[in-house]
Amino acid sequence: MKYWLLKTEPEEYSIHDLAAAPDQTTAWDGVRNYQARNFLRDGMRVGDRVLIYHSNTEPLAIVGVAKVVRSSYPDASAFDRKSAYFDAKSKAESPTWVNVDLKLDRIFAEPLTLIQLRSEPALAGMELLRRGSRLSVQPVTTEEFRRIQRLAGG
DNA sequence: GCCAACGTTGGC
DNA sequence: GCCAACGTTGGC
């Protein structure tokens, strides 16, 4: 089993939206960066655990954990002209962009803020904490994941 | 609101 | 294939 971190802007889609979704499951769509796509498509497998991070909000924080319940499949929003995620270059016969499906695992009682994360020497190597890091799908090491679980009272 | 740190686009 | 210009992300 592998571990990941996904960023989302809560105004767009928050962990509370995931909690309210049917079966607490959603398609994670709209990823439009190749490196992030490669992690979704080539790295994520059913059963992997995913930290959910809220960006562009207050507080900036890891807010909970989800699990991968379906591995990658074509992102239909890329073919939808009315979608903000429409991509004319993505063809049905060779889709550029992919989704995975996620199911909520748990919401942290207290969000684990970016400030708290930065204060943990054991997490200093996290991609999330790297200056200028913009990657919205990131691998997380087992050690980092366990530390974060523990910090969040898991 | 600012701007650093990217990623993408397009002229050449 | 280079790289300047432009657009986006996202912390501050």
What positions of strand B are covered by protein, i.e. any atom < 7 Å from a CB?
A: 4-8
The spacing between the Cα labelled CA in A108 and the C1' in C6, in angstroms, equals 39
pLDDT tens-digit profile of A1-52?
Answer: 999 999 999 999 999 999 999 999 999 999 999 999 999 999 999 999 999 9
A129's tokens:
């904490």
Asked if strand C comes closer than 7 Å to A135 Cβ, the answer is yes
The spacing between the Cα labelled CA in A56 and the C1' in B1, in angstroms, equals 14
Question: Could you give the 3-state DSSP secondary structure of residue A14?
Answer: coil
In sequence order, what are the beta bridge partners of A112?
A: A62
Task: Check which CATH number belongs to the domain holding A105 and give it.
Answer: 3.10.590.10
Q: Look up the domain containing A48 and give its range.
A: 3-151
pLDDT, residue A131, reads 87
Peptide bond into A22 cis (omega under 30): no
- In chain A, how many domains are there? 1
